[in-house]
């Protein structure tokens, strides 16, 4: 989302794994891998093993395809190849044509021209900028992205969605638009949108927009990895910097509301900037755990183990490289309390693959942000996209037999 993680979030809450896990941070991964290996062995002999908690969608009414995708996501890191889903975000459905900021599948075609392959995953926002071209004012225009997402799914690709929600108290249901999407430092209290709150009716109208979009995708059999309230531990959106218990109440309420309206094709993605397990709403409300990485921020091993401690598949849902020039990094302007730099055209994409393999091997997917961050910029795109770990469009979803 091209937002800047504030420096105050660098010291992150790691959640509450057991004391045994805290003493041996690799134990959880070892236990999961061992159980997964036993399940795979049973499957080879035709047995039907009990589903692991991270291999079953949180929504008990999830459509069969959603169950297939979730089970696949949970199994990827047990493979030796075709194990890391590649992804490229495709932009916003803006009212005006804003060039690189607008929704455009050309991001994916450019990758194909440079590498000979397409990424497996693409994504879109259900909201875009209004005619005034104010990034702080958003309008629902999901109709502009749904045909491309359906076509991508039909080709064998995967889809992810989310919304830069307008702030509920200033949202206009008649125009499907509203200002104040960016409300820093906890300037809005999410308790206002819980049942009985003063902004509940408008929040329901906002949720109904997403429900309409997801239901449309569901009619075409499309499963969406759907991010709700991404980057909630930042300080830039109205849903950021909330009291954790209130945030968790709102997430659970939304999950239940979507489910009550028949949305059964969504896999629910908990998406942070830095580690923020204090906001985690619970295993029964989340399918996938993820982080957004910009400006060469890389999680520490402790933070990485904190993500894995939640017991869900893990991925990088937004990646944007910063400059490789230390002098430029130091000279970069300060926005939101953190250094920001223009994305380079010389990023060596092999670096991302190397870091995931070496430091974060249980990563199931990544999605690169659009604009100047796109995969089409930078160097060694062909080598990166054709790495044996990559699961690209057209690669077998089932593991290769040797």
Phi then psi for 379, rounded to 5 degrees? -115, 160
- Contact (Cβ atoms closer than 8 angstroms) between residue 158 and residue 108: no
Residue 280, helix vs strand vs coil: coil
> Measured between alpha carbons, how far is 101 from 372 in angstroms, rounded to an integer?
9
How many CA atoms, within 13 angstroms, populate the side-chain half-sphere of residue 236?
19
Q: Is 362 one of the catalytic residues? A: no
Of 210, 231, 305, 362, which is the active-site residue? 231
Residue with tokens 């979507």: 258
Name 337's Cβ contacts closer than 8 Å, sequence gap at least 6: 4, 6, 7, 8, 235
Greatest distance between any 2 Cα atoms in the chain: 61
Strands 314-320 and 363-368 come out as: parallel
Angle at 305 between CA 302 and CA 307, to 5 degrees: 115
CA 293/CA 4 separation, integer angstroms: 9
Q: Give me the helices (H) in 45-157, please.
A: 64-75, 106-115, 146-154
Q: Which of 68, 106, 110, 318 is catalytic?
A: 318
Half-sphere exposure at residue 358, Cβ-oriented, CA atoms within 13 angstroms: 9
Helical (H) or strand (E) element with 271 = strand 266-272
318 a catalytic residue = yes
Q: Return d(Cα 328, Cα 334) in angstroms, integer.
A: 12
Number of H helices, E strands in the chain: 11, 15
Catalytic residues: 231, 318
């Amino acid at each position: 989302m091209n937002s800047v993680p504030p420096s105050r979030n660098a010291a992150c809450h790691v959640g509450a794994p057991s004391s045994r896990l805290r003493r041996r941070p690799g134990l959880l991964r070892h236990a999961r891998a061992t159980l997964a290996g036993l399940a795979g062995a049973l499957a080879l002999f035709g047995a039907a093993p009990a589903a692991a908690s991270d291999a079953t969608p949180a929504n008990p009414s999830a459509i069969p395809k959603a169950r297939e995708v979730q089970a696949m996501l949970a199994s990827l890191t047990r493979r030796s190849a075709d194990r890391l889903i590649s992804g490229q975000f495709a932009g916003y459905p803006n009212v005006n044509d804003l060039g690189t900021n607008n929704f455009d599948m050309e991001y994916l075609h450019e990758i194909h021209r440079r590498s000979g392959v397409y990424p497996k995953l693409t994504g879109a926002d259900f909201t875009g900028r209004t005619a005034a071209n104010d990034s702080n004012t958003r309008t629902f225009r999901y109709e502009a992205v749904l045909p491309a997402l359906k076509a991508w799914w039909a080709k064998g690709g995967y889809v992810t969605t989310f919304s830069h929600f307008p702030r509920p108290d200033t949202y206009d249901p008649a125009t499907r638009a509203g200002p104040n999407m960016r409300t820093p430092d906890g300037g809005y209290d999410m308790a206002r949108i819980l049942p009985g709150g003063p902004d509940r009716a408008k929040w329901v109208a906002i949720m109904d927009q997403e429900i309409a979009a997801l239901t449309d995708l569901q009619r075409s059999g499309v499963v969406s990895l759907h991010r709700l309230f991404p980057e909630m531990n930042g300080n830039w959106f109205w849903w950021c910097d909330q009291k954790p218990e209130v945030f968790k109440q709102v997430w659970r309420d939304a999950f239940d509301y979507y489910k009550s309206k028949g949305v059964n094709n969504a896999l629910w993605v908990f998406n942070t900037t830095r580690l923020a397990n204090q906001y985690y709403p619970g295993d029964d409300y989340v399918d996938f755990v993820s982080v957004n990485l910009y400006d060469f921020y890389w999680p520490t091993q402790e933070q990485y183990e904190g993500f894995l401690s939640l017991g869900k598949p893990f991925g990088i849902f937004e990646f944007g490289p910063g400059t490789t020039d230390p002098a430029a990094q130091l000279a970069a302007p300060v926005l939101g309390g953190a250094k920001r730099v223009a994305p380079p055209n010389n990023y060596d994409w092999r670096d991302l693959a190397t870091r995931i393999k070496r430091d974060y091997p249980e990563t199931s997917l990544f999605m690169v942000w659009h604009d100047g961050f796109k995969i089409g910029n930078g160097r060694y795109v062909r080598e990166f996209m054709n790495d044996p770990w990559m699961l690209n469009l057209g690669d077998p979803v089932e593991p290769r037999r040797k």
